[in-house]
Amino acid sequence: MARQVIHGFESGTYLDKAYLYSGTPIITSGTSAYGLSGSYFLNMSNGRIFYVLTAKDYYYLSFRVYFGNTNNTNYTAVRFQNSGTVLGAIKFDLSNDGYCRAYRDDGSTVIATGTKKMNINTAYRVEIYYKPSLASGDVHTRIDGVADITVAGQQTSGTAAQVNQVHFGIQGGAMYIDDVVFDDASWVGNTRIQGLVPNGVGNSTQFSKYPATGDNYDHVDEMPYNDADYNYSNTVDHLDLFAMSALDESLKTISTIKCLDIIVRAKIDGVSTPTEIAVAQRVASTNYAGTDQVVAQDNWGFFHQIYEVNPNTSVAYLKAEINGIELGYKARS
């Protein structure tokens, strides 16, 4: 495995991948004004979030960050945790000297200080490799691809435990984040996340639609989502596929496709024969369904699956394949 989570907030929400920790984080559009990417970013001036991850001995993390002021930047911005126990932390201390600092546990013991001075009103791409250990841990950071902190084979945590949560936020300071990626195998590198939305009829239209006007793709093309219209089915193996918007290279040329993350939002209403849903894609005239995932009764939930290779070719997707792909969902029992 490599990519564990990718999150560009392109669904117009943070709740498709993350959880609310405190306050009121705000999804904001117009990322180009802050040197970020895509259509949305997360404004954490008034709130914090966290990600629940598969427990691992270490994680590689990458994200873009922009600070609009120095308020509270001497507080922890990123926390690596094992459930409720803080293993290690990162601060971007713009209120003092502008340097990145790595801490053991909750931010009381400094492990190392970087040398790259960071400033407000500037976007940075931050990468972190964190391995908690009582004696042989590692903390490495990169700012815009350049090594900043290098700690190897030292105590990096006061607790011997794996990482299964990562928290973001310095509530009360203007911290904006975008392009969050977790990987368990290698450095993430210069990655940008784009959101594609349905924009046309696909090869299969088997779900019914509410209201009963327009095409099925019209009912799932809003970003952020809108519950005023939707598609529904009470038949196992019904499949909806949609033509998708093309990749945007107007600002940045895309060199490689690292992965595709298909996201579906669904719930069960009343007594339903299908109780699970699978994401779906159509590549090279062949349909592929993902892993069956249990859908909750009455409550909307997000379901997603990451593909690092094209299921038709077993190698990385090509741009032309993404631009010709159809995406959707399949009702499952």
Q: β-strands 47-56, 163-168: how paired?
A: antiparallel
Q: Which of 183, 212, 246 is the last residue of a domain?
A: 183
145 with 279, same domain: the answer is: no
- Contact yes or no for 297/247 (Cβ under 8 A): no
Place of tokens 């909307």: 300
Domain CATH number, residue 324 = 2.60.120
Q: Is residue 189 part of a domain?
A: no
Tell me which residues of the chain have a pLDDT lower than 50. Answer: none
115 with 17, same domain: the answer is: yes
Q: Is residue 192 part of a domain?
A: no
Torsion, Cα 197 64 146 58, to 10 degrees, reads -90
Predicted local distance difference test score (pLDDT) of residue 35 = 84
**How far is it, in rounded angstroms, from Cα 280 to Cα 165?**
28
95 with 222, same domain: the answer is: no
Place of tokens 């107007």: 250
Q: Is residue 193 part of a domain?
A: no
136 with 84, same domain: the answer is: yes
Predicted local distance difference test score (pLDDT) of residue 34 = 86
Cα dihedral sign, 259-263-52-68: positive
Supply φ then ψ for residue 216, to 5 degrees: -60, -40
Q: Is residue 140 part of a domain?
A: yes
48 with 134, same domain: the answer is: yes
Q: Which of 183, 215, 234 is the last residue of a domain?
A: 183
Q: Which of 148, 183, 218 is the last residue of a domain?
A: 183
11 with 138, same domain: the answer is: yes
Sorted by sequence, the CB contacts under 8 Å of residue 125 that are 6+ apart come out as: 62, 63, 64, 143, 144, 145, 179, 190
Q: Is residue 188 part of a domain?
A: no
- Contact yes or no for 122/66 (Cβ under 8 A): yes
- Reported as a single tens digit per residue, the pLDDT across 88-111 is 999 999 999 999 999 999 888 999
80 with 167, same domain: the answer is: yes
169 with 80, same domain: the answer is: yes
**149: containing domain:** 3-183
> What are the beta bridge partners of residue 287?
282
267: its two tokens: 């719930």
- Contact yes or no for 224/12 (Cβ under 8 A): yes
**How far is it, in rounded angstroms, from Cα 203 to Cα 239?**
9
**Number of separate domains in the chain:** 2
153 with 203, same domain: the answer is: no
Predicted local distance difference test score (pLDDT) of residue 1 = 65
Q: Is residue 55 part of a domain?
A: yes
Closest C-alpha to 62, from 15, 130, 154: 130
Q: Is residue 190 part of a domain?
A: no
231 with 102, same domain: the answer is: no
85 with 166, same domain: the answer is: yes
**How far is it, in rounded angstroms, from Cα 58 to Cα 56?**
5
**How far is it, in rounded angstroms, from Cα 276 to Cα 268?**
9
Amino acid at 113: T
160 with 294, same domain: the answer is: no
Q: What global pTM score does this model have? A: 0.96
Q: β-strands 40-43, 175-183: how paired?
A: antiparallel
Domain CATH number, residue 137 = 2.60.120.200
